[in-house]
Structure 1
Amino acid sequence: MIRSLHRWFGLIAAVLVTVIALSGTALSVFPASEALINPAAQQISVAELAARVQAAEPSVEQIRRTPSGRITAYYFEGDQPASSIIDPATGTPVGNADTSALQRWLTNLHRSLFLDDAGRLVVAGGAAAMLTLTLSGLFLLARRAGGWRYILKPAKGTGNGQLHAIISRLALPGLLLSSLTALWMTAATFGYLPEGAGAPPFPSEVSGATGIPVASITVLQETPVDTFRSLSFPAAGDATDAFTLKTDAGEGYIDQGNGGLLAWNEANWVDRLTGFLTMLHTGQGMAWLGLLLGLSALAVPVLGWTGLAVWLKGRGKRKRVSVSASEADTIVLVGSEGGTTWGFAETLRSTLSGQGIHVHVGPMSTFNPEQWAKAKRLILLTATYGDGEAPVSARGFLERFRHTPVRQGLSLAILGFGDRSFPAYCGFAADITQAAEGKGWEMLLPFDTVDRQSPQDFSRWGRGLAEALGLAFELNHQPAKLKTCEFSLLSRRDYGASVQATTAILRFALPKASLWQRVTGKASPWFEAGDLVGVVPEGSEVPRFYSLASSTKDGFLEICVRKQPGGLCSGQLTALEPGQTVTAFVRPNLSFRPARGRKPVILIGAGTGIGPLAGFARANQAHRPMYLYFGTRHPASDALYAEELSDWKEDGRLAGISTAFSRSANPAYVQDILRKDAARIGKLIAAGGQVLVCGGRDMAAGVAAALSEILMPQGVSLATLKAEGRYAEDVY
């Protein structure tokens, strides 16, 4: 429901909110420029200021001070009213006080859309929409991150979705403040707030005398300039009139004959709060805050654009319709890294719904049995990432699951998705099952698995589910057609021919896309180094995945491929010539990339595992400490990326490079050079360093053993590093 509210409010109010935001951004510049050009502030009293102004302009009627400190005097030139900015040091005019036509135009647009009171109400509606969007966006960010405690962690995802999340996190505090203060100011304008103290009743009796020198009035002598708002002079020749003084503390009248305070009202909480919120909203008196709010508002059109792009892209996908969690009798939670598990969840939902079962589908990160008032069964469909770790949409699930009491009357079924060729096959799902059995959950079905997204395995599991529910149905899953692109080979570099181990670095051009294709999500997806490209070889429908050595920002797609004996895909790729194309798609690999920040990164790889690590180094324009440990066969035949690595070491993108050659005169493997450099590695880990490992399974196992030995004296384990998000593998 929160997602729908956020989406439709955003789409409907996009134009109005964008107009308000952009005009607010433009207006935020004026307080800053005003603060820069104001005459220097003086530590003087209002009495001194008023005397100086009166000496320079005897016809002065009023002096005002803006929150930014600008002093303005209103007086007459002949019989014509005039106003000027005043230098408080001399009391003389130094500039025209009239608001520029541009600022007036922007102010009217921002406050009322040139529609007076009706326009103010429309703008207030825009502020309310903004408040709804910021609050719902905040909840969605927390849900996407896996809980409020993870909301400040780096945004996951790719393309417009990731950009939307990153900008939202930066802009939401400012947008929330702007919308709340705007609604308060509107309520104050239309009298919906409690009454402020205001001015006291004008006194019925005054001294009747006139002409007291303003510099001698005690009240004005005791009032510093930086706390007063305005001073109005009595009308010339009117002995019944008085001075009117407004300050931050209140408002009152001063006798023009003897300087005595005739009446005074202290400002109440409404006055003080309204003044404070007005300052926050406009930046008057806090120019730096105004600029920050302006920058936050500038994010609105970007958020609108990226939000629209995400929505348009999602329209083309199969629509997932599920009832709310509070109304569902069956809860299906999904743990997915690349998104394919969601397709199986949709097949399950649609089939069960056809049987009259009320199903709610959501990510495992939303696990919260307290909200499932009518739920009878919980079904977990989850993939496994890496070496038995949680996929993106299940972050934080296992910890919450272990600490959540078993709910009576709620049975549980767990189905794992994975690839049997990996040692940690469905490891995360198995960990959940072990925790569930240990806590005594009632199991609806025994733990089961689906190998390589097999529809047959899923259908087999579905027959068991149907029997357990006493129903008759089949889970006929039809995998969604992959969204592929044609990538044309730009260049290739070949290695290893002399040792009969052909390896190639292949660089492909990115497909050209029109602006409309980019907006609607039909262009090739955004990717980063470390993500995966799935190549569909001729004669097969099963994609093979390769780690990317480049990002979209590099302007090309690059992979490192070794020809495998009898390998269908690797054989076709290593036979490509420039100009030829492959059919492929990109899949995010969100857990395998350097974390944000400046802490050290240790890159460890062997063979073609150098690919993504080279991509990380290429992208290290900020020159964070990044150390590469790389193992290969022989420097004469397998020195992959040798020239680039040398350049990156020279320009600071790599702080250190250590290599091991297994077929040289002094053979060594990458784990050997790790042990030789144990002291430095220990210091890097102690400094908060992150470890990224890419290559074959045997190499990864040797690296893990070496690192465990190195870290043991520090009392640090790889399990701890993994739990902290500081150790990740991409192995094959």
Structure 2
Amino acid sequence: MSHVLTQLTQAVREQLSQLSSDDLRWMSGYLAGLADAKAGTGSVVAAPAATAAASRPLLVLYGSQTGNAEGVAKTFADAAKAAGLDVTLASMAGFKAKKLSDAQDIALVVSTHGDGEAPDDAIALHELLGSKRAPDLSQTRFSVLALGDSSYPLFCQTGKDFDERLAAAGSERLLTIKEADVEFQATAQAWQDELLAALADAAPQVQSAAEVSSSAAPQPTRANPMSAEVLAVHPLTIDAGHEVYHLELDVPSLSYQPGDALGIVAQQSDALVQAVLDATRLNADEPVTLDGKKVRLFDALKGKELTTLHPKTVAELQLSEGEGQLPERIRTRSESLTAQQLIDALKPLAPRLYSIASSPKEAEGEVHLTIALVAFEAEGQARFGVASGLVSRLEAGDELKVYVQPNNRFRLPDADKPVIMIGPGTGMAPFRAFMQEREATQAQGRNWLFFGSRHLRNDFLYQTEWQRWLSEGQLSKLSLAFSRDQQDKIYVQHRLKEEGAEVWQWLNDGAYLYVCGDGERMAKDVHQALADLIASHGNTDGETYLNELRAQGRYLRDVY
């Protein structure tokens, strides 16, 4: 740096120290404009209107388990920026509660998973706001959009908690809480429009949603998926009854990263729809109204949830208690049922999400999935999962409607960092993508996989790939647990405890922990095994240590 530039920098700092925070925000925009103009034409631009200075800083904060809340938050943040707001977008992961008071306006989007549980990245902030350490937010305003699944008793509970706790900390509600079910798009859009209008009323220079236009090219989304051609589909397992399929799709224009999920937008099979019609004795060609349009009952049922039945559906159709799909449970209904009543009572069929099992650096222009077939028998009839059954029937050349569900909470760390991957069954899928990525980028960090399934002979998914990575040194260690190959069942949590000393050493060396798979039992058992081995070998409280890892972004889970 020259002597003249040094003196100039010192003089600028002295002048800036006398400015308020709003003045500094305005100045930063002005200087950015000067820089852009200098780089483009060399001319100087006029000072911008003090829009940012006049608007209150807006914090868009999200807590997400599957990526839906994150996607909604990013969409809202983009719209708010286009409307002229001073926006900061942030994940709750590692977010300091004291920074809430700096925002003035807070737009919070958060999901609920499991039995009313907060997403992993929201746990710390959720707990802090519910404690005596919650900051004073009396100078702020807020609005909460809560995502959930109303088939669970504690619907949107985490969002409700945040709404109550922000208000208890003194913050003023801009809008009453909005609660969105599985089909959240319409509610999310309404929340965005209402919140932008409320902010525009408070600051007239801010544009409402109606005034904001977007020129961005449409991208494949849940509402607007793309068609992908099937390149290959084949079973990874041998024995019937526990089939797992490897699927390769041609997606030359699709952008994704290891850790993301792919959404399959499927329809119900003709066989299941016909079984519903047989059980209800309704005419397949009878017209019904769906989304304001007249369609055949058969076609309407193709896009309805017939396998996982919502409690409201069960109540409205007076279905029998217990498990089973719609054809079996609707037979006990005694009174007559019209076609329109049936359609109105059923929820739309949600896309099925699968962890991506490939890296775009290895499988360029393709995306790979690992899908276990859901199959069972009901009243002598074969029944299948919506997407997994579809995949089992696919052939090369067929097409699927798909979109990427980003998962920024499940990313690889820096290339030199060690990783411990725990993924039994198809939970292995994202770790295949991780290994492909690390191999392609020549990452030097160590890699350790814990994998488990029923039998070594039938269920060791991608066995030759993992053995090659192990023999070539890309995979540092492989710990296997095949539960049915000996008298006593052995699962990945048992292997973790057996390897406890070395796992603890890896954690001390800065390893990142990843868990993928069943969230009901496996993830909880693995969590407890980790807490136990940390307490045993680290002489510290395991739960506290894991919470610290989570806050550091080193304990990452993709569970379902």
How do 1:212-361 and structure 2 match up within 5 A?
A: 324=52, 326-328=54-56, 333-335=60-62, 337=67, 339-342=70-73, 345=76
C-alpha change, 1:481 and 1:705, in structure 2 (3 Å) is closer
Residue matched to 2:19 = none
Which of 519, 528, 533 is the matching residue for 2:262? 533
Residue matched to 1:719 = 547
Alpha-carbon distance in 2 for matches of 1:548, 1:370: 38
Alpha-carbon distance in 2 for matches of 1:615, 1:671: 23
Alpha-carbon distance in 2 for matches of 1:370, 1:689: 33
C-alpha change, 1:331 and 1:624, in structure 2 (3 Å) is closer
Kept after mapping to 2: 8 A contact 1:533/1:584:
yes
- The one-letter amino acid paired with 2:136 is V
C-alpha change, 1:680 and 1:532, in structure 2 (3 Å) is same
* TM-score (normalised: structure 2): 0.60
Residue 620 (structure 1) aligned with residue 458 (structure 2): no
Unaligned runs of 5+ in 2: 1-24, 202-208, 211-219, 268-301, 304-348, 376-383
Residue matched to 1:686 = 508
Kept after mapping to 1: 8 A contact 2:141/2:171:
yes
Shift of 1:420: 5.3
C-alpha change, 1:9 and 1:423, in structure 2 (3 Å) is farther
Q: Which moved more, 1:710-719 or 1:378-387?
A: 378-387
How do 1:652-691 and structure 2 match up within 5 A?
A: 652-666=473-487, 667-691=489-513
2:110 aligns to what SS in structure 1? strand
Kept after mapping to 2: 8 A contact 1:341/1:383:
no
Residue matched to 1:491 = 232
Kept after mapping to 2: 8 A contact 1:341/1:382:
no
Shift of 1:591: 1.3
Kept after mapping to 2: 8 A contact 1:604/1:694:
yes
Alpha-carbon distance in 2 for matches of 1:327, 1:370: 13
1:380 aligns to what SS in structure 2? strand
Kept after mapping to 2: 8 A contact 1:532/1:588:
yes
Alpha-carbon distance in 2 for matches of 1:723, 1:535: 32
Residue matched to 1:561 = 371
* TM-score (normalised: structure 1): 0.47
Alpha-carbon distance in 1 for matches of 2:74, 2:54: 23
Alpha-carbon distance in 1 for matches of 2:152, 2:358: 25
- The one-letter amino acid paired with 1:415 is L
Which of 429, 432, 439 is the matching residue for 2:169? 439
Shift of 1:360: 6.6
C-alpha change, 1:485 and 1:5, in structure 2 (3 Å) is farther
**Deviation digits for residues 165-184 of structure 1 (CA, Å, limit 9, x no counterpart):** xxxxxxxxxxxxxxxxxxxx
1:706 aligns to what SS in structure 2? helix
**Deviation digits for residues 162-204 of structure 1 (CA, Å, limit 9, x no counterpart):** xxxxxxxxxxxxxxxxxxxxxxxxxxxxxxxxxxxxxxxxxxx
Alpha-carbon distance in 2 for matches of 1:463, 1:550: 37
Which of 369, 381, 384 is the matching residue for 2:109? 381
1:572 aligns to what SS in structure 2? helix
C-alpha change, 1:492 and 1:595, in structure 2 (3 Å) is same
Shift of 1:551: 1.7
% identical equivalent positions:
26
Which of 389, 406, 429 is the matching residue for 1:611? 429
Kept after mapping to 1: 8 A contact 2:262/2:355:
yes
Alpha-carbon distance in 1 for matches of 2:506, 2:242: 34
2:361 aligns to what SS in structure 1? helix
Shift of 1:694: 0.6
C-alpha change, 1:708 and 1:535, in structure 2 (3 Å) is same
**Deviation digits for residues 553-585 of structure 1 (CA, Å, limit 9, x no counterpart):** 111311100112332112112221122221211
Residue 696 (structure 1) aligned with residue 425 (structure 2): no
**Deviation digits for residues 66-94 of structure 1 (CA, Å, limit 9, x no counterpart):** xxxxxxxxxxxxxxxxxxxxxxxxxxxxx
Q: Which moved more, 1:418-427 or 1:557-566?
A: 418-427
Residue matched to 1:406 = 136
Alpha-carbon distance in 2 for matches of 1:651, 1:421: 47
How do 1:158-237 and structure 2 match up within 5 A?
A: none
Shift of 1:536: 1.1
Kept after mapping to 2: 8 A contact 1:332/1:379:
yes
Kept after mapping to 1: 8 A contact 2:231/2:250:
yes
Kept after mapping to 2: 8 A contact 1:416/1:429:
yes
Residue matched to 1:502 = 243
**Deviation digits for residues 702-727 of structure 1 (CA, Å, limit 9, x no counterpart):** 11111111111321432121111111
Shift of 1:691: 0.7
1:612 aligns to what SS in structure 2? helix
Unaligned runs of 5+ in 1: 17-121, 133-321, 512-522
2:248 aligns to what SS in structure 1? strand
- The one-letter amino acid paired with 2:358 is S
Shift of 1:418: 3.5
Kept after mapping to 1: 8 A contact 2:107/2:143:
yes
Over the aligned positions, Cα root-mean-square deviation in angstroms equals 4.7
Which of 387, 395, 400 is the matching residue for 1:577? 395
Higher relative contact order structure (alpha carbons within 8 Å, sequence separation ≥ 6): 2
- The one-letter amino acid paired with 2:263 is G
Alpha-carbon distance in 2 for matches of 1:15, 1:414: 41
Shift of 1:593: 2.3
Shift of 1:381: 3.2
Residue 363 (structure 1) aligned with residue 186 (structure 2): no
Alpha-carbon distance in 2 for matches of 1:488, 1:464: 40
Kept after mapping to 2: 8 A contact 1:629/1:659:
yes
Alpha-carbon distance in 2 for matches of 1:7, 1:647: 51
Alpha-carbon distance in 1 for matches of 2:259, 2:221: 24
Kept after mapping to 2: 8 A contact 1:504/1:561:
yes
Residue 551 (structure 1) aligned with residue 334 (structure 2): no
C-alpha change, 1:423 and 1:531, in structure 2 (3 Å) is farther
Kept after mapping to 2: 8 A contact 1:547/1:612:
yes
